[in-house]
Structure 1
């Protein structure tokens, strides 16, 4: 079984970034010959050439590019482990890695987590929020990479426990000059005659809308697929299409960008976010407190608006 030496991986990553063994030696206060020896040992260990050495610099081979991606991830996790252990030394009583979808992060989750940590009984707890896809949240929970996740309840949640969190309501966002902008509400099928912009296909929201369009016997006419709500809504402002987005997010941008938000009347347009975890019995006391706190916010969550147009 091959096991990588983190010191060699760190020198390898630094060499790929600096394109120079000499500069890496200066950075780490190591003679260049020692850096070069480490890199050669790494190549011997992997059994492939990882670097091309030329007069213009040092560059990764295709195999080196592959290792570079893994090395960055391994070093990131190793450095985070050190920071987490240092947190316990400094007196923090608990550290929680919370994975959440883009919608959850863009809505109420940051404020809820901040309020949780500000409570006196939780001031020894630190929560790190990381945005990722619903499918990756469940996979990482199973792998033990994180203890708690927040995602939409329509995601594939096999093998994890869930508790309700907050709800949101989808609406169509348009430029004021768009034909739909005069409506106070509409159904999703009404949007399918117009070009749209949306989030990339890996998101749960994209798949939800694709299924709804298929049920209506139509296809969504996407003009652009982007990675953030901010970029999507700026495309709408530029009259490059309409979009379907959570009203709770769109309303924040609507006034600043001069957009109209029309609630969708479809039953599936009201979505339930859930807190997910592998098993309550293996949650740390800090993680259990966070789950209970977030669930309580969901219980007090008012029903989302259904007819108000922004």
Structure 2
């Protein structure tokens, strides 16, 4: 018995049709029918009864269908487990996170984890926050970190950290001496994107009624260092996480002014698909990331 034939049998029993089963496993109907016939020939018993309305399993077909489901599920679990290893057999953990987490927190987190578990390897992928949870739910990553107002659906999320959004201005700017301010108070000046949630439209949805006038965006700049360099040259102000901005303010002659808007404090979550199904290496990294 081969896995492909078992997969076709399972699909045929569940779909009650060879044509729909063939479509489900991406084969033409004649090829799927031939695979079932060959399986029946090798086993010496009829598995499916064919009739005008479709197919139905014989008692032998029911028994094999039940066992085939278990076999295919075990194979899928084995594949998922082996996906956590590199081509050289070294344990590999797939971690996906939004850019502000990658820049602010993960270098130290991954470095300290590597010292605790030198045999493990972390493959880090950067993605937008709204893509992180779906990637974990689909099995494209073992652990995800994202920011949101509420935990995402489809995954198990746990609090990770909080960060704050600040306003980056040049030294000597009229706003540079403020201890804090609302974003609305800075709207007399030009801005440089990228904003929280990245696009201006998404940011305006986030900020809601706290913004009462149009935001003038002079340029869209995703790279934080380039954005800070443009702030230094007087091309506009920037909104970014305070922890990222502090990497550049000292050497570029900039100031980070805290924003007092409610949306300026962000909640970061770490998520997994199923905490009970994690490999030992993934579970160790998850425990390392969670606040003690």
Task: Specify which of 238, 244, 248 is matched with residue 249 of structure 1.
Answer: 244
Task: Specify which of 202, 211, 216 is matched with residue 216 of structure 1.
Answer: 211
Query: Residues 98-119 of structure 1: CA distance to partner in whole angstroms, max 9, x if unpaired?
Result: 0011100110111111101111
- Give the equivalent residue in structure 2 for 1:189: 184
The answer to whether residue 109 in structure 2 is matched with residue 112 in structure 1 is yes
Q: CA deviation at 1:87?
A: 2.9
Alpha-carbon separation, structure 2, partners of 1:268 and 1:201: 9
Alpha-carbon contact 2:192-2:236 (below 8 Å) kept: yes
Matches within 5 A, 1:25-64: none
- Give the equivalent residue in structure 1 for 2:160: 165
Residues 245, 209 of structure 1: alpha-carbon distance in 2 compared, 3 angstrom cutoff:
farther
Q: CA deviation at 1:167?
A: 1.6
Alpha-carbon separation, structure 2, partners of 1:85 and 1:131: 19
- Give the equivalent residue in structure 2 for 1:153: 148
Alpha-carbon separation, structure 1, partners of 2:201 and 2:105: 21
- Give the equivalent residue in structure 2 for 1:258: 253
Alpha-carbon contact 1:192-1:213 (below 8 Å) kept: no
Alpha-carbon separation, structure 2, partners of 1:221 and 1:196: 6
Query: Residues 94-142 of structure 1: CA distance to partner in whole angstroms, max 9, x if unpaired?
Result: 21110011100110111111101111xx222111111111122122112
Stretches of structure 2 lacking an aligned partner (at least 5 in a row): 1-25, 28-81
Task: Specify which of 82, 92, 96 is matched with residue 93 of structure 2.
Answer: 96
Count of residues in correspondence between the two structures: 213
Alpha-carbon separation, structure 2, partners of 1:146 and 1:106: 19
Query: Residues 53-89 of structure 1: CA distance to partner in whole angstroms, max 9, x if unpaired?
Result: xxxxxxxxxxxxxxxxxxxxxxxxxxxx99944231x
Provide the alpha-carbon RMSD of the alignment. Answer: 2.5
> Whose Rg is larger?
2
SS at match of 1:180: coil
Alpha-carbon contact 2:164-2:266 (below 8 Å) kept: yes
Give the structure-1-normalised TM-score.
0.63
Q: CA deviation at 1:218?
A: 2.6
- Give the equivalent residue in structure 2 for 1:86: 87
SS at match of 2:113: helix
Residues 204, 237 of structure 1: alpha-carbon distance in 2 compared, 3 angstrom cutoff:
same
SS at match of 2:175: helix
Task: Specify which of 98, 123, 128 is matched with residue 128 of structure 1.
Answer: 123
Alpha-carbon separation, structure 2, partners of 1:271 and 1:255: 24
Stretches of structure 1 lacking an aligned partner (at least 5 in a row): 3-80, 300-310
Task: Specify which of 166, 174, 178 is matched with residue 169 of structure 2.
Answer: 174
